């Protein structure tokens, strides 16, 4: 990994939850009860997971979000602190912390129910304060869709105004106001999310490119369509190409694969890697994440990610300048 560059931080604005996970051979049918094979209760949420991944990548990371004034809020605070994430803008609010109920089957697939709770309390003032105080330390802003959509739009606008490179992980997928897309430098949907957002059925490289051009036609700078074990497709207004995953693994739990990808992508771009090398590093992080049960516990270390990349190809990760908007 290259030496850290000045102002190489990542500002993550998003959700923090407690993940209650149950594992079973298969998901129950409606009205059916099945016996599980294990359970966990760990900190999670797309925002918190991505902040952990960004910090693990080596980037100075700042987190903006809300937790409740309960024991779960304390658990999240402690977990993020353990990863040396700046929590100056983690806001305690009266009431319960966000909760996610996750079911994972023996083939590693999952379904999730999210109860926002404290995450719904994030305000534009919280975001304004955080961006104003961290903009000189950061190059990249990363956000998702587990906080209110008006806050997401405001967050992207603030990042754009501050000259940060804005990354939107559009998950969980939801209809978005047209104005949001022009505020996004990089969007990172998986195939399912790209299909839902664009109306284009994404099943292969060709359809992923078509969906990517939908995003760029609506104002996005770069669309990165992730394709699980099949790699990713990178689309700009003038170019499109596929990047192969190059790693074969045994899938245990896919819950945090996208979060590992997004956090490592953001951290690697902030460190000065080329976009393609940042995507490759993100894919390696996502690959390792699915080999471990749980969300935040599955985020891999930078050493493990870079070792996997070294095994996949004997190549250097090259620094490059990324451009935000001033």
Percent of the chain past pLDDT 90, that is, above it, reads: 77
Kindly state the tokens that stand for 71.
Answer: 């024991």
Residue with the two structure tokens 């955080």: 130
**Yes or no: domain 9-27+37-312 corresponds to CATH 3.40.1190.20:** yes
CA distance 300 to 287: 9
The reported pLDDT for the residue numbered 319 is: 38
Contact 72, 97 (CB under 8 A): yes
CA distance 16 to 100: 10
The reported pLDDT for the residue numbered 139 is: 97
Contact 269, 313 (CB under 8 A): no
The reported pLDDT for the residue numbered 246 is: 65
User: Is 289 labeled as ligand-binding?
Assistant: yes
pLDDT: which is higher, 107 or 175: 175
In tens, the pLDDT along 7-29 reads: 799 999 999 999 998 999 999 99
pLDDT: which is higher, 185 or 294: 185
pLDDT at 111 over 60: yes
> Over the chain, what HEC string results?
CCCCCCCCEEEEECCCEEEEEEEECCCCCCCCCCCCCEEEEEEECHHHHHHHHHHHHCCCEEEEEEEECCHHHHHHHHHHHHCCCEEEEEEEECCCCEEEEEEEECCCCEEEEEECHHHHHCCHHHHHHHHHHHCCCEEEEEECCCCCHHHHHHHHHHHHHCCCEEEECCCCCCCCCHHHHCCCCEECCEHHHHHHHHCCCCCCHHHHHHHHHHHHHCCCCEEEEECHHHCEEEEECCCEEEECCCCCCCCCCCCCHHHHHHHHHHHHHHCCECHHHHHHHHHHHHHHHCCCCCCHHHCCCHHHHHHHHHHHCCCCCCECCCCCCC
pLDDT: which is higher, 314 or 119: 119
The reported pLDDT for the residue numbered 160 is: 97
pLDDT at 191 over 50: yes
Reported as a pLDDT band with limits 50, 70 and 90, residue 2 is very low
pLDDT at 313 over 90: no
pLDDT at 218 over 80: yes
CA distance 104 to 23: 5
pLDDT at 110 over 90: no
Each domain of the chain, given as residue ranges in start order, spans: 9-27+37-312
Active site residues: 259
pLDDT at 106 over 50: yes
pLDDT at 321 over 70: no
> Taking every pair of C-alpha atoms in the chain, what is the biggest distance, in angstroms?
56
In tens, the pLDDT along 49-101 reads: 999 999 999 999 999 999 999 999 999 999 999 999 999 999 999 999 999 99
Reported as a pLDDT band with limits 50, 70 and 90, residue 295 is low
User: Is 298 labeled as ligand-binding?
Assistant: yes
User: Is 46 labeled as ligand-binding?
Assistant: yes
The reported pLDDT for the residue numbered 1 is: 42
pLDDT at 215 over 50: yes
The reported pLDDT for the residue numbered 77 is: 98
User: Is 18 labeled as ligand-binding?
Assistant: yes
User: Is 236 labeled as ligand-binding?
Assistant: no
User: Is 47 labeled as ligand-binding?
Assistant: yes
Cβ-based burial of 200 (10 A; exposed 0-12, middle 13-18, buried ≥19): middle
pLDDT at 283 over 50: yes
Decide the pairing of beta strands 232-236 and 186-187.
Answer: unpaired
């Amino acid at each position: 990994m290259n030496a850290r560059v000045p102002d190489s931080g990542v500002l993550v604005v998003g959700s923090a939850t407690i993940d209650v996970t149950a594992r079973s051979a298969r998901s129950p049918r409606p009205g059916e009860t099945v016996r599980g094979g294990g359970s966990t209760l760990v900190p999670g949420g797309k925002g918190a997971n991505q902040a952990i991944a960004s910090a693990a990548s080596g980037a100075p990371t700042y987190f903006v979000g809300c937790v409740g004034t309960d024991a779960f809020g304390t658990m999240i605070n402690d977990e993020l602190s353990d990863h040396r994430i700046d929590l100056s803008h983690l806001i305690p609010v009266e009431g319960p912390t966000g909760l996610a109920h996750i079911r994972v089957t023996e083939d590693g697939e999952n379904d999730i129910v999210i109860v926002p709770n404290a995450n719904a309390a994030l305000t534009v003032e919280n975001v304004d304060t955080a961006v104003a105080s961290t903009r000189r330390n950061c190059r990249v802003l990363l956000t998702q869709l587990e906080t209110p959509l008006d806050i997401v739009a405001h967050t992207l606008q603030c990042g754009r105004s501050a000259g940060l490179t804005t990354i939107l992980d559009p998950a969980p997928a939801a209809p978005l106001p047209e104005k949001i897309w022009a505020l996004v430098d990089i969007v990172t949907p998986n195939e399912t999310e790209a299909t839902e957002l664009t109306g284009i059925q994404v099943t292969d490289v060709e359809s992923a490119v078509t969906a990517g051009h939908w995003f760029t036609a609506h104002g996005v700078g770069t669309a990165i369509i992730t394709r699980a074990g099949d790699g990713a497709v990178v689309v700009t207004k003038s170019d499109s190409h596929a990047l192969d995953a190059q790693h074969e693994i045994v899938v245990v739990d896919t819950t945090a694969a996208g979060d590992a990808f997004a956090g490592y992508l953001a951290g690697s771009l902030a460190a000065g890697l080329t976009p393609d090398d940042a995507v490759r590093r993100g894919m390696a992080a996502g690959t390792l994440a699915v080999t471990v049960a749980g969300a935040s516990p599955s985020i891999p270390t930078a050493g493990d990610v870079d070792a996997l990349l070294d095994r996949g190809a004997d190549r250097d990760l090259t620094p490059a300048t990324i451009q935000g908007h001033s």
